[in-house]
Amino acid sequence: MTHSGLYPKFPVLLVDDEVEWLESFSFTLEYQAGITHVMTCSQSHEVMALLKEQPFSLVILDMTMPPPTGEQLLPLITAEYPDVPVVVLSGLNQLDTAVNCMKLGATDYYTKTTEISHLMTGLKRILTEQDLRRELQTLKSGLLSYGLNHPDVFEEIVTRSPMMISVFKYLEAVACSCEPILIVGESGSGKELIAKAVHRLSCPDAPWVAVNVAGLDDTAFSDTLFGHVRGAFTGADKPREGMIAKAAGGVLFLDEIGDLSLQSQVKLLRLLQEKEYFALGSDAPRQVEARIICATNCDLAGKQQSGAFRKDLYYRLCSHQVVLPPLRERSEDLPLLLTHFLEQAADQLNKEVPTYPPQLPVLLSTYHFPGNIRELRGMVYDALSQHRQGILSMDVFRQAIAIDESDKNAPTSCPITGRVMFPEQLPTLDEVAGQLVDEAMKRSQGNQSIASKLLGISQPALSRRLKKSSESCA
């Protein structure tokens, strides 16, 4: 999808000396295949100059023209622009001509009497393959280079995490693709921000439409996405434009995709595969002209194995998949996010931005954050709303963490998933206790108050252990 909503990103060049045919075939490409980015050329001697001026996705070349003929142009194009596929579309149905064209480098050969659906399918296949080749090339060069090509696109996402930078590079590589993107991440990890970054990368001036599909039954899902015509059902007094139509040329973001009913999953699969849909009450197909991005916090692989999510839809959505790391795996981002949310909250609450104690990021790094960035934001806003003067108190954060960790269903920051493995010769209790204390002090960056909470003992008890350890080493 280009900034103007044209497909493909680079134009398809039609070469034929019949101007009326060029106009007619351009119309056919748009309404039969959704190919809207077309350039025509009726003067064959201009073709090589056009190819030199700008990149093209595909050249569709007629054979019988005044010199240079298509047969003369074909080897020139394939020699100078080997990455541009050339499809020969001739009025002659001659086997020897077709074989010769393929030898000269043509990607495919059709006659103008070929059934239109067969021709359109072939052209769409070639364009898809071209997109994938270009995308792979971009991905390789992007992941091997340092830095981002469009860092401004990701300004709303506060991070310095290498894992997030890798996600950004991947998004830059796949932004030009027309395939759907699946964003997977825990609740509150920033999936919609990632989807908006794709929108800014691929079509910033085009529409952005977001739909949360959780809780939508099949009828509501169909009506919301596809719209309806007048009289489609009782109460449909006037037509309604669906969200797909509203997102034309831009991005349609479907959140909570893992909660879709099986009936709705079938309709979404058809939408992605056929690139067309039907408004409720209509039998006229409409072309999909929006980039579709889906997001979920569900384990779709697990759901498809249990039968709750269609396997074919799962594999279709996995063309481009982004897995967002949870906040607990991005501890280096905590100081940045704290500062960001404090400034944001101070602006909304009309307060000065306070200084926070240096131990606060350390305390937060020991917490598992089941609600991720959204939960941290709530903590910061709550703390600042209660703040009066001086350094920001850590009490609100301590209380929030203590309340959550008192929940028996809440996971710990480091869950024990099995029995601890011991060496053949068991360590003594003092040795094990010493290692636990060392690890707690390491995680708390030397803060005894935080380390004692990690160990489940009082701070004086920890101080005594540390003092005893230092004396024994003296």
What is the helix (H) or strand (E) element at residue 274, kind and residue range?
A: helix 262-274
Ranking 35-44, 280-289, 433-442 by mean pLDDT, the lowest is 433-442
The Cα–Cα gap between 330 and 161 comes to 6
Q: Whose CA is closest to 295, among 322, 274, 272, 326?
A: 322
- 150 to each of 145, 165, 171, 197, 201, how far by Cα in Å? 13, 12, 10, 10, 8
Phi, psi of 349, deg, nearest 5? -90, 0
Q: Say which CATH number the domain at 449 has.
A: 1.10.10
Q: Say which CATH number the domain at 298 has.
A: 3.40.50.300
Asked whether the predicted pLDDT for residue 385 surpasses 80, the reply is: yes
Residue 308 lies in a domain: yes
Which sign, positive or negative, has the C-alpha torsion 265, 267, 271, 274?
Answer: positive
The Cα–Cα gap between 118 and 428 comes to 76
Residue 410 lies in a domain: no
Shared domain check, 178 and 100: no
Q: Say which CATH number the domain at 390 has.
A: 1.10.8.60
Shared domain check, 445 and 316: no
In this structure, the strands spanning 208-212 and 286-287 are unpaired
Residue 135 lies in a domain: no
Domain end call among 130, 165, 196: 130
Ranking 230-244, 265-279, 280-294, 316-330 by mean pLDDT, the lowest is 230-244
pLDDT digits (tens, 9 = 90+) for 9-61: 899 999 999 999 999 999 999 988 889 999 999 999 999 999 999 999 999 99
Domain end call among 305, 325, 345: 325
pLDDT at 296: 96
Residue 423 lies in a domain: no
Shared domain check, 186 and 75: no
Asked whether the predicted pLDDT for residue 213 surpasses 60, the reply is: yes
Q: Whose CA is closest to 210, among 193, 185, 229, 188?
A: 193
Asked whether the predicted pLDDT for residue 417 surpasses 50, the reply is: no
Shared domain check, 439 and 395: no
Domain end call among 259, 294, 325: 325
Shared domain check, 239 and 163: yes
Asked whether the predicted pLDDT for residue 470 surpasses 80, the reply is: no
Q: Whose CA is closest to 63, among 82, 46, 44?
A: 44
pLDDT at 3: 42
Residue 105 lies in a domain: yes
pLDDT digits (tens, 9 = 90+) for 406-416: 554 444 444 44
Q: Per-residue pLDDT averaged across 110-134, rounded?
A: 84
Shared domain check, 434 and 321: no
Residue 227 is part of which domain span? 146-325
Band of residue 403 on the pLDDT scale cut at 50, 70, 90: low
Domain count, the chain: 4
Shared domain check, 310 and 239: yes
Residue 74 lies in a domain: yes
Residue 3 lies in a domain: no
Report the alpha-carbon angle 172-175-179, nearest 5. Answer: 140
pLDDT digits (tens, 9 = 90+) for 103-118: 888 989 888 888 888 8
pLDDT at 415: 42
Q: State what percent of residues in the chain have pLDDT above 90.
A: 46
The mean of the pLDDT values for the chain is 86
The Cα–Cα gap between 357 and 390 comes to 10
Do 452 and 461 touch, CB atoms closer than 8 A? yes
Residues whose CB is less than 8 angstroms from the CB of residue 152 and which lie 6 or more positions away in sequence, other chains included = none
Is residue 370 exposed (0-12), middle (13-18) or buried (19+ Cβ within 10 Å)? middle
Shared domain check, 61 and 72: yes
- 426 to each of 247, 423, 440, how far by Cα in Å? 64, 6, 21
Phi, psi of 277, deg, nearest 5? -155, 170
Phi, psi of 113, deg, nearest 5? -95, 0
Shared domain check, 290 and 182: yes
pLDDT digits (tens, 9 = 90+) for 138-197: 665 655 555 788 888 998 999 889 999 999 999 999 988 888 999 999 999 999 999 999
pLDDT at 139: 60
pLDDT at 1: 44
The Cα–Cα gap between 355 and 339 comes to 9
Q: Name which residue leads in pLDDT, 293 or 6.
A: 293
pLDDT at 345: 94
Shared domain check, 168 and 79: no
Residues whose CB is less than 8 angstroms from the CB of residue 287 and which lie 6 or more positions away in sequence, other chains included = 31, 34, 275, 276
- 107 to each of 21, 98, 310, how far by Cα in Å? 22, 11, 35
Q: Per-residue pLDDT averaged across 359-383, rounded?
A: 92
What is the helix (H) or strand (E) element at residue 28, kind and residue range?
A: helix 19-33
Residue 417 lies in a domain: no
Shared domain check, 194 and 176: yes
Do 225 and 243 touch, CB atoms closer than 8 A? yes
Place of tokens 């990149």: 55
Shared domain check, 254 and 150: yes
Task: Determine the angle formed by the axes of helices 70-80 and 95-103, rounding to 10 degrees.
Answer: 20
